[in-house]
Structure 1
Amino acid sequence: MRIQGNLFVSRGGGMASLKISLASLLVATAALPAIAQDTETKEVSEQDDAVVEERVILDADNAYVLENENLVVAEGNVRAEYGERVLTADKLTYNRETGRVRAQGDIVITEPDGTERFAEEIETDSRLVDGFATGFSLRTPEGETAAANTAERRNETITELDRAVFTACELCEGQSTPTWSIRARKAVLNEETGMFTYRDAVFEIAGVPVVYFPYFSHPDPQSERRSGFLVPRFGASTKYGAFLQPRYYWAISPYQDLVVAPAFYTKIDPRLEFDYRKRFYSGDVNMNFSFTNEARFDDDGERLNNKAFRGHFFADGRFRISEDWDWGFAVEEASDDLYTDRYDVDGENDRRGIYYSQPKTLLSQLYTQGQAKNWYVDASIQTFDNLQAQGIAEDRIADVLPLINSQYDVDFGKYGYLSLTGSAAFLERVEGVDSRRASAGADWSTQRIIPGGLIVEPFAEARFDYYNINDFPTVDESNTITRGVGSTGVKLSMPFYRPGRNVDLLVEPIVMGAVSTGTPNDEPIPIEDGAFFELDTSSLFDANAQAGYDLYEGDKKLGAGISATARWKNGFEISGLVGRRWRSEADPAFDVPSNLDGTVSDWLVSASVEFNDYFSIDTKLRLDDDSLDINRLDTALNVNIEDIARTKAIYYRIDESITRSGVRQEGLFLLGEVFVRDNILILFELQREFEQNLNIRQGIGIGYEDDCSRFELVYERQGTTNRELGPSESIVFRFGFKTIGELGSRNFD
């Protein structure tokens, strides 16, 4: 039997105004009063109270009216459709006298978003203001599930669950216990606030009780963000003892929020931390800052001086000026060199703005950046704070006021490409040399393929540099230096390609020859931007191999090499390049580490092996030009095989003959995780310096990971010493749960 009816609901209340809840999921049953009045579709005119017309369709094997009991009954494969919401049950009953609606037997309610609700029996009034269900459970498309012995709707916004269980883990076939769950005596869903609250809640892992909460709450996973307490951080350390950091999330508006996180320690005074975000129409701002009134302390928590206000401030923002232009800022400040290490403050090495900071160096910058199809400009002001005990004194670190880079490209079609560049750098120091540089240049190149397959790429470049320098002893009284530099030459390559049944081969000899300005580095220009340059395969065929502006590679030079690539049909690929560079004259401005000293460079080799996205190996070698001994070796291995291993390994070795310190360097960085069986993985980390016989950082642990959670138990050891902060050992617990965030500890020493 198929019955259609019209549902009329007042705008002032009723189902049309309800959000998703237990009662609103039963909305199809409210059609029964209309069906009982008339089984045919009726036209209803507007009355004093405005109404909203909704169509309800009811299918059942049998439908009848019990006049003595004043009941309307639908039985057998009952299916009620209300818009995109569907209810199925064995039986539906409507009491015309009391206005109560009851559904019984294998009840399933499917929402438009795919959420499914199940119950053994449901009863509600015709207005759906209150309702009651037994054997209640739900499952969302995202995998969240909840169950309760009974579910009672007390009013239009409150639904109470008795003996409730909540989890975000989907149960696989044959699995009866989720990875994690919250089991509570009472649970309440408040649709107005969008919060789940629990009384006498127990957090369970694999069915084993782990933590008891007299009271616990979290947002409805499908609700909008809102204020409330986040899961606290807690742990222990020899530096500051046991600690607890509760966190309160304040949703100030739809466009801004604030996390307030006081941290309490057993050995030292509390610290207050804030994390603020705000989104504007044209951009956004992020701030993280903290402060405390405490003395400096060592790795054992012993105070070293008197208490004082200490803290840090990290902030960044980026805003759109127009379609092509942005501006932004980044601020990084700390009250003392070791503050971030003493309190384990995160974010010190995060990128903020358009420039990266060096390790243990705080960078503040104000910048603007513009880019279109054929031009680019950026301008920035930068200041630095050195957090290292050794190295350059902070007063000798230059402030950049400002740095400007620009490029404009012109396409001449068959006549090639022209790039016009401009740059300026104004550097000021409290102690040391102040310099101001302005440069303008032009680069032209084109490409032709001549008969026989030879690729010919002629090029030319020219640049003018102006310097104004103070406090540099070899500069004359005018403090100004000007120079013009340039190069012209050609790059030749001849690719040979041989396709095969299983593997394709590509071999390409490459030669670059250029004639440049002679002795361009005779002028007494302080080296600011090229002091740590080293020639490798990426710049082997450049007219001017030296990066930056202060040094320029002049005279005649020749770069030659050969590249080869083999590609298998199954996705396996091997490629490599070997070459070296020759110069007509030695330039004393270039040192041995730069690989531009003398007239012949060391041999340069690069090689890579790749197999789909599963693994890759990249290697770079620098071989001595006379003995072919390995002067430098850099190798990186990446493995990413789903459910087997995720690993990254980097090995480096630098001979003392090419290091600026004259000390041999050799080290290994290893980080990864390997699955030893379903969902169980071994975690490992190692950062070792072989010459110092020092493990800078090491860790080993075990973890569990599935679609809804991740657990880690890791032993870590920090082997370095930074003034009064020395080596430390820790046991680290990390827990992550889908929909409710992280729970657990950070460091347990």
Structure 2
Amino acid sequence: MCIFLLTSAQAAGTAEDENMVVEAKELINNQDTDTVTASGNVQIFYKGRALEADRVIYNRKTQQIFAEGHAKLTERDGSVVRAERFELTDDFKAGFINSLQYDALNDTQMSAPHAELVGNTRVYDKGTYTACAACKDDPNRARLWQVRAKRIIHNAETKTVYYEDASMELLGVPIAYFPYLTQPDPTVKRRTGFLMPSVMYGSYLGTGYKVPFFWEISPDTDITLTPSYFSNGIPYLTGVFRKQFENGNVMLRADGAYLNQSARNLFTAAPFGARDRAFRGVVQSVGEFNLNDRWKTGWNGAYFTDRYFMQDFGMFSTLNNMFFFRESQSKAYLTGQGQRSFFDMQAMYFQGLLPGDIQAQLPTTHPMIDYNRTFDVDPAKTGGIGGQIELDSNFNSVSASLANYQSIQPQTLDSRYNLYNVCQTYSPNSDPNQSQCLLRGVGGNYNRGVVSATWKRKIIDPTGGVWSPFAFTRLMGSYLDYNKTGTYGAYNALNMPISNYNQTYFIPGQNNSFRGQITPGAGVEYRYPILAHSPLGDIVVEPIAQLIARPNQTSIPSLVNLDAQSLVYDDTNLFDINKYSGYDRFETGTRINYGGQATTQFANGGFINAMVGQSSQLAGANAYAMADAANVGLASGLNTRTSDVVGRLVVAPASFFSLTSKGRFDKDTFDVRRIDLLASLNLNPITLGIQYANYYQQQQIGFNYLRRGLSTSGRWDITKNYFINGSVTLDMSRGGAYEQYYNNPLGVFYNNFISAAAINQPLPTLSFSQVTPKSSFYSSAIWGAGGGYNDECLSATLNYSSINQPWYTGKNYNQTIFLSVNFRTLGEMKFQNNIGRLMNDGLSSAMQQ
């Protein structure tokens, strides 16, 4: 091995890194030609670069280096250039390279039969660029994708790549041509310039094309502007501003479309569309800042010019899938988190995005505050009592300008548009089970505060029983200032509008009403776990009983119920002190909750868990049988002295399979009142999931019919790179005689109501036979299928979805095909095709079909 030092004439100096170090098996110094020839595993190191070859010739006169035979040049950043022959200056900054391949650090490649190196710029003649690795079994096989150009210029200083006469190839087949194309160097994360274009097609908007432009204002600030144009003559612009701070970030997005009269005529007039609006759009903003390691503040909000913008322009597909539950929620918040405490303050604004929403009925929260803290009690300082104390508080201030009523038994619509939910009689029935109108929200201001303190302790007796005594005190105060004036022009069959005055029939007392209540209570919970060993594994059987004593309170503490309307009685809240979902309602009297659970733990980590239980009111008034203005508690399974039976079964014998079943059953007949099934199976490469729900009708709270559904999903990883997936959701409530109600879920009841009123006949009601499917025909609510490919250089997905979105004159399907192809380092190309017309998209053309 020979080691030789050469000094570059252009960079002569005394520093060690200015010297060129040559390692080779043989060195020949030819005085006649003034050349030095190195042979055999030659390695030359100079200024952080390394040149390797079988043979290298250095010409002192011309100051050139010639390298050939497995030649390789390693740059300072670690990237590598491989070639048959290098012809370079002695500082490696200029020269010619034959049959080269450039391998960057991010696994991208450039290759060409010939290239020229000039300083920090490489010029590739007839070059190619790709981020795909060569096939191991067939290196000569065409790359999955590559860009082929007459000339590629890579400027390492500006980190920019230029292409002339370029074509995009997929599996060697050209799919796109670009006379001139630029892109940032693959090492660049952010750079001002155009991004990948996208193509869209809608049955009413026509073909749309958009080209995003990214503007890097600074390392922490950027803007993306995306102009779009649809063939129906609608210009559309999206702007996104992002700013990163040391302790947070801000995003502001604005979408807007300008519609001339011709474009506006594509849409129907109000209230079924937004034909009257020339400008339509939405503004969104998200921000969050960490004040310190425990506190943060932020916001997340949006405002739409109209409720139809989202569905007309195909935005926010996730929300579009939820046809019956769609709204925009904006909030600002301040949160703090301690080791055993938290604080949360939120102000919220809701905007309705359904055709039947009345904005004046939607509430604004200003604010809602939650605080919770748990701390230990020192037994030495409390006479041996010990335990834990939990402090919990909530304050809520809500306002709306119009009362929110809901018609039930049956649900009826307004007489003019057949669109808005209206009551025919705006007053509760003396028997809540026969009421046909509920008050869901007040028109006015409502303020309510709750503070509670709970002490609890766990004691294990000598027999192994676990005793958990507890005591609590709850203080609640509310102030209601509801509005008796104000109406909205949605008229019932008697030509009565929605009026705030009708709140007086639901809310006793004067206009301004204050209520307060103190509820102390105490109780104990007992568990006795029994452990047994078996060949299958360890078995634990645990009977549970809980007794809670509270004063008998025969009146509802709050005049209205706004935050405790979603009462679901199941295994998760059986042993809760209060089973209501919010703070406006609270249990009263003496109640006992009892049941048990059993768990079998297998040696392989699998397990089976079963639980069953029930609740009984021993003394005092049953809060769940005391109807409020929203009838919450009725038909809940808790409104009788002895409740329905709830249970749970979880079977997970191995890591690849699990089944969870939860249900509620009639206390006398054990008929199913509510059941949920969830199963998953992962047999790599196949994954399957299934979910089933069956909820009986609860006419007293507005669910007039049986609700059943089945959802399945699956994925098959055919190979390491290819996969297919699919899902289907079946609405099993449909079929047979009941299909007529689903075709027009609200309007049919209204029409029947009008017909009955006109001939002075009893009003129509729903019977169980009317709301039970009478055939095995199940309607597909949502289904989709797709597939894709994914590897280190390309990911592609093709998906089809069909969503059944019932409208008041029938049911319609929103069908979408979505194609996305992501070329690593180049960008993502998308194509979306809405191939199905919607009755609910506000289009006059669709309405006429």
2:309 partner amino acid: Y
Matched, 1:582 2:616: yes
Alignment match of 1:736 (pick from 790, 801, 822): 822
Counterpart in 2 of 1:464?
Answer: 475
* 8 A contact 1:169–1:708 mirrored in 2: yes
* 8 A contact 1:294–1:306 mirrored in 2: no
Counterpart in 2 of 1:18?
Answer: none
Runs of at least 5 residues in structure 1 that lack an aligned partner in the other structure: 15-33, 35-43, 46-50, 351-355
Separation of aligned partners in 1, 2:25 and 2:592: 90
Q: Aligned to 1:128, what secondary structure does the other structure show?
A: coil
1:446 partner amino acid: R
Matched, 1:314 2:284: yes
Counterpart in 1 of 2:29?
Answer: 65
Separation of aligned partners in 1, 2:655 and 2:7: 56
Separation of aligned partners in 2, 1:624 and 1:501: 36
Deviation, structure 1 residue 663: 1.0
Separation of aligned partners in 1, 2:243 and 2:135: 41
Alignment match of 1:649 (pick from 690, 715, 719): 690
Separation of aligned partners in 1, 2:262 and 2:806: 14
Structure-2 change in CA distance of 1:6 and 1:255 (3 Å): farther
Structure-2 change in CA distance of 1:457 and 1:57 (3 Å): farther
Higher relative contact order (CA 8 A, sep 6+): 2
**Within 5 Å, which residues of 2 pair with 1:66-465?**
66-81=30-45, 86-110=50-74, 115-140=79-104, 142-156=106-120, 158-175=121-138, 176-294=141-259, 301=266, 305-306=275-276, 308-346=278-316, 359-390=325-356, 393-413=358-378, 415-431=386-402, 432-465=443-476
Alignment match of 1:537 (pick from 560, 568, 571): 571
Q: Deviations over 1:215-265 (max 9, x none)?
A: 333322222411111111103110200110111111111001111101110
Deviation, structure 1 residue 641: 5.4
Q: Deviations over 1:358-399 (max 9, x none)?
A: 9421112121111111321111211111111225x2212221
Runs of at least 5 residues in structure 2 that lack an aligned partner in the other structure: 270-274, 380-385, 403-442, 483-503, 627-631, 735-777, 836-849
Deviation, structure 1 residue 55: 6.7
Separation of aligned partners in 2, 1:214 and 1:614: 53
Separation of aligned partners in 2, 1:358 and 1:280: 39
Alignment match of 1:689 (pick from 705, 708, 731): 731
* 8 A contact 1:194–1:224 mirrored in 2: no
Deviation, structure 1 residue 645: 3.1
* 8 A contact 2:234–2:258 mirrored in 1: yes
Alignment match of 1:607 (pick from 649, 653, 656): 649
**Where in structure 1 do 4 or more consecutive aligned residues deviate above 6 Å?**
6-10, 295-300
Q: Deviations over 1:656-683 (max 9, x none)?
A: 2477322111123334432345533223
Separation of aligned partners in 1, 2:76 and 2:688: 42
* 8 A contact 1:9–1:53 mirrored in 2: no
Separation of aligned partners in 1, 2:142 and 2:644: 63
* 8 A contact 2:557–2:585 mirrored in 1: no
Counterpart in 2 of 1:526?
Answer: 560
Q: Aligned to 1:340, what secondary structure does the other structure show?
A: helix
RMSD: 3.1
1:101 partner amino acid: I
Deviation, structure 1 residue 402: 1.0
Structure-2 change in CA distance of 1:164 and 1:560 (3 Å): farther
Q: Deviations over 1:85-132 (max 9, x none)?
A: 644311122111111122211123456766443211112212333232
Deviation, structure 1 residue 451: 1.5
Q: Aligned to 1:53, what secondary structure does the other structure show?
A: helix
TM-score calculated relative to the size of structure 1: 0.87
Matched, 1:667 2:709: yes
* 8 A contact 1:6–1:53 mirrored in 2: no
- Amino-acid identity (%): 24
* 8 A contact 2:48–2:76 mirrored in 1: yes
Counterpart in 2 of 1:629?
Answer: 671
Separation of aligned partners in 2, 1:682 and 1:217: 35
- The structure with the largest strand share of the pair is 1
* 8 A contact 2:8–2:90 mirrored in 1: no
2:817 partner amino acid: I
* 8 A contact 2:680–2:689 mirrored in 1: yes
- After superposing the two structures, state which structure 1 stretch, 159-168 or 74-83, moved more: 74-83
- After superposing the two structures, state which structure 1 stretch, 555-564 or 491-500, moved more: 491-500
Q: Deviations over 1:481-540 (max 9, x none)?
A: 000123311122222334566633333222222112322643452001111111221111
Deviation, structure 1 residue 417: 1.3
**Within 5 Å, which residues of 2 pair with 1:467-616?**
467-471=478-482, 473-476=507-510, 479-498=513-532, 503-519=537-553, 521-523=555-557, 525-584=559-618, 585-587=621-623, 588-589=625-626, 590-610=632-652, 614-616=656-658
Separation of aligned partners in 2, 1:424 and 1:433: 17
* 8 A contact 1:239–1:298 mirrored in 2: no
1:207 partner amino acid: G
Structure-2 change in CA distance of 1:278 and 1:344 (3 Å): same
Structure-2 change in CA distance of 1:450 and 1:735 (3 Å): same
* 8 A contact 1:295–1:303 mirrored in 2: no
Q: Aligned to 2:592, what secondary structure does the other structure show?
A: strand
Separation of aligned partners in 2, 1:563 and 1:300: 63
Counterpart in 1 of 2:813?
Answer: 727
Counterpart in 1 of 2:492?
Answer: none
1:680 partner amino acid: Y
Aligned length: 705
Separation of aligned partners in 2, 1:613 and 1:212: 50
TM-score calculated relative to the size of structure 2: 0.77
1:423 partner amino acid: N
Deviation, structure 1 residue 7: 6.8
Deviation, structure 1 residue 333: 0.7
- After superposing the two structures, state which structure 1 stretch, 107-116 or 295-304, moved more: 295-304
Structure-2 change in CA distance of 1:734 and 1:79 (3 Å): same
Counterpart in 2 of 1:3?
Answer: 3
Matched, 1:708 2:679: no
Separation of aligned partners in 1, 2:136 and 2:535: 45
Q: Aligned to 2:360, what secondary structure does the other structure show?
A: helix
Separation of aligned partners in 1, 2:324 and 2:221: 31
